[in-house]
Amino acid sequence: MAKERRWIVLSEDGRHVSIGRASDPDETELATMADALRSQDTGGWLAIMEGDYHGARKAPVLMMVRVLTPCAVTWDNAAAAFQQRRLQALTAA
């Protein structure tokens, strides 16, 4: 069975938004995402998430593609915050 892969934008505090599966984001979409991050005064990355976000057995893997806006935290810290938020969402459901 193929693993699910999707493009996401990951912010410094672990929040994320899915921006697609079927095609690569274009530069216009990425500029819009960067503007949205700047409007929230946060840095962020374009990334690929592989795996099931809601899967309890195995956490999805994040792969950084590129920085969208300057970041005050490391990729590793943002990815850890993402996993923590994901676990909190799973236990709250």
Q: And the tokens for 84?
A: 């923590």
The domain spans of the chain are: 5-92
pLDDT tens column, 7-30: 999 999 999 999 988 889 999 999
Residues 44 and 12: beta-carbon distance below 8 Å: yes
The model carries a pTM of 0.91
Beta pairing partners, 20: 7
Tell me which residues of the chain have a pLDDT lower than 70.
1-2, 93
